[in-house]
Structure 1
Amino acid sequence: MAHARFPERTADVAANLTSPVLGRPLCANGTPWILYIFEECVENVWEYWSVVIGLISMFCFLLSTLPQVYEAYRNGKVEEAMSFGFPLFLFSGDLSSLIGCVLTSQLPIQIVAVVFYIFTDLLLISQFIYYKIKNRSSKKSTMLKWLCFLWCSISTVALLILPKFITDNNTSVNTQSTSNSLELSGYACGYLASIFYLSSRFPQIYKNFKRQSTEGTSYMLFALAMMGNGTYGLSVMVVLPALTGSKQTFILKHLAWLIGSLGVLVLDVVVTTQFIIYRKNCSGKTIKKLKVPEVEPLLCEEEELSTF
């Protein structure tokens, strides 16, 4: 889900964008808003659309889990529809991505985005545990509601403070040259995150296959994730014609995130196929549940009238 938009960015990029003598930007022909927000010099149409498509990708990921949160709140049967491995692997992937972003000195906006991803992962996990305990217990526990409310409140406050703490710490570290070992560790975390993202889909695919149904899960989660992963891959590829350096080196630096994004995109196509195939099964069961209570009383009334 989460990804590093500029994994090759090092600590001295921001310093190179301004003149040490005059304090003026060296990127005279660059796009002002991209230079201000991302500290990146974009001077041609290929790089411009790469940034715009990357922002669309980030926006899709930010919204992807919210439909599932609402769906779980609406039906209250999360454990029946969703595999616990799905949010757990997502959380592990986003946590690994956050560590990778910090070690490779990513932009503050990327760190904030990853922290938001972690927040939505925790929300999904909390919902799963809450409804699992609630549905198993015969009585509605007021204590359980208060514990969940307290947990969500503490998580929200912690995740609001965490980006500021990380970015401030990251800025102080950026004054020194980042060691190669730290960068290598960051890229290793990127590959680890890709493995977690790929692993997140398999438990849900198996769960859908075992149930022969996708009822209780929101397709918008997977649709937005597909859009996010597809646009991320496109944002990386579209900048290739404008590169002056080695294209192979550029792809290698993005390879971990490309494997995770495009690999998950393929698996989400499998989930989409399941939604199409199992939709008939869901609709058939729903029609039966709706029709049987209405038909049976009518048949009983007809039998009683025929006896008179």
Structure 2
Amino acid sequence: MDTVNGCPIKNEVDLELVQWIAKATGSCMYGEMGALSYILAKELISIGYLSLFAWLWAQLPQVIKNYRNHSVEGLSWLFLFNWFLGDATNLIGCLLTRQLPFQTFLAMYYLIIDVILCSQYVYYTKLQSETYYVLLSPPEAGTPTSSHSSHTIRSNGRRRANVMLSLSAIVAIAGAMVTPPTPYALAGLPPAMSTDDGMFSVMGGKFNGFRRWFKLNDRESVGRVFAWACTTMYLTSRMPQIYTNFVRQSTSGLSVLLFIAAFCGNLLYTLSIVSSAATLDGGERADFLWEELPYLLGSAGTVGFDFTIFLQWVYYGEGKLFFHNLYYGRKSWELGDSSDDADAQSLADEDEYCAASSSSSSSASSGSSQTVSSIHPPGEEREMY
């Protein structure tokens, strides 16, 4: 029998060998669907790792921004709280369903970042503010304090309204990672990946560990419940942040890089699930999509929310300022950096200066006109140009 790189020209069901794949890689793939499965499998590896990379560094810009600003202004505490709960359920799900050590370590990493963000929120809104007010001497009796009090109330209100941005991105990865019936569900890795001797490998149209819901044992059923709980928190986590931005009419204090990374991570993970389903046929595809439904909803469902926050960043001025600085050559390596407020103030000062100059110039013109009028009594004014 004729072979190409050890692969028979036809398989047992009389499908033709895809010879270019056999010659290039030595893999025996037959028919058009075989070629498609091979291409998608290779692409899934790249998509999965890109998604994982996006999530690994997604929250770090927000942590750095909070530290530089010594403030968590701009974050919604509900957003942060949902995110923390999502990561906690994610870690519990990984432990209950005996996920790979790498997956469990990732879940721990995300939870640690959440703890750092929560610690920053507590410190900058509670401990630091208390220290600041202790250092302030109390006002003298009879001294008007209404202005100071109103400023303090506004400042505290904004600070509380601002806190919880960073946890939502982690919930996203949480939903992606808790896959009770399948050992291949890594936070950013495609479901088509399984383990073989500790290495990630793609199994064409067959997925190791694939089982129907009614075959799940009690431990895995609990893990499934945690997966849906995580997905629910992930889907709802952005809503408080969007509302906070709307009320404040600003996204200052937020690191838009977090939401850009979340958008990319969610989009890539969704593509990995859909692409994996494309390698299956008939009922297998439907079963697979049903199996991955919580993770599909958790990733695809939040893409629109992430994009909405990005639009708010542009609409409320921070994005416009960034692109203005970028266009005119000002260096601003972090989107929405803490220097934004200073730049905005600088631009405002320039506008105020121009307005003042224009006003003084018009008043000078008016003064000169009055001078002319006083020199030349009514009826004797000379025509000025």
Report the TM-score range of the alignment, normalised by the length of the smaller protein.
0.5 to 0.7
Give the CA deviation at 1:231: 0.5
Deviations 1:62-101 (A, max 9, x none): 11000011111111221x3111112211111111112222
CA contact (8 A) 2:314 2:320 kept: no
Give the CA deviation at 1:140: 8.6
Root-mean-square deviation (CA), in Å? 3.4
Deviations 1:206-237 (A, max 9, x none): 11111000011110000000011000001111
**1:118 counterpart residue number:** 111
1:275 is the counterpart of 2:313: yes
Q: Distance in 2 between matches of 1:282 and 1:122?
A: 32
Counterpart amino acid of residue 82 in structure 2: F
Q: Describe the shift of the 1:200–1:62 C-alpha distance in structure 2 as closer, same or farther (beyond 3 A).
A: same
**1:45 counterpart residue number:** 39
Q: Distance in 2 between matches of 1:298 and 1:136?
A: 43
The ranges of structure 1 where at least 4 consecutive aligned residues each deviate by more than 3 angstroms after the TM superposition are 280-285, 287-299
**2:151 counterpart residue number:** none
Counterpart amino acid of residue 246 in structure 2: F
% identical aligned pairs:
33
CA contact (8 A) 1:222 1:268 kept: yes
Superposed, 1:55-134 pairs within 5 Å as 55-78=49-72, 80-133=73-126, 134=128
Give the CA deviation at 1:280: 6.1
Q: Distance in 1 between matches of 2:221 and 2:43?
A: 29
Q: Distance in 2 between matches of 1:137 and 1:292?
A: 37
Give the CA deviation at 1:287: 4.2
More contact order relative to length (CA 8 Å, sep ≥ 6): 1
SS at match of 2:57: helix
CA contact (8 A) 1:215 1:282 kept: no
Q: Distance in 2 between matches of 1:29 and 1:106?
A: 29
Give the CA deviation at 1:104: 2.5
Deviations 1:258-300 (A, max 9, x none): 111111111111111111110169859634664489789999x
CA contact (8 A) 1:103 1:186 kept: yes
1:286 is the counterpart of 2:348: no
**1:257 counterpart residue number:** 295
**Match 1:233 to one of 248, 264, 270:** 270
Deviations 1:47-67 (A, max 9, x none): 232233112111111110000
Unaligned 5+ runs, structure 1: 1-27, 31-42, 142-177, 303-308
CA contact (8 A) 2:83 2:234 kept: yes
**1:33 counterpart residue number:** none
Deviations 1:165-192 (A, max 9, x none): xxxxxxxxxxxxx961111111111110
User: TM-score, structure 1 length as denominator?
Assistant: 0.65
CA contact (8 A) 1:101 1:110 kept: yes
Q: Describe the shift of the 1:280–1:59 C-alpha distance in structure 2 as closer, same or farther (beyond 3 A).
A: closer
Give the CA deviation at 1:242: 2.2
Deviations 1:238-260 (A, max 9, x none): 12232257111111111111111
CA contact (8 A) 1:60 1:225 kept: yes
Q: Which of the two has greater helix per residue?
A: 1
Q: Distance in 1 between matches of 2:270 and 2:97?
A: 20
CA contact (8 A) 2:252 2:318 kept: no
User: TM-score, structure 2 length as denominator?
Assistant: 0.53
SS at match of 2:99: coil
Unaligned 5+ runs, structure 2: 1-25, 29-36, 136-214, 322-342, 362-385
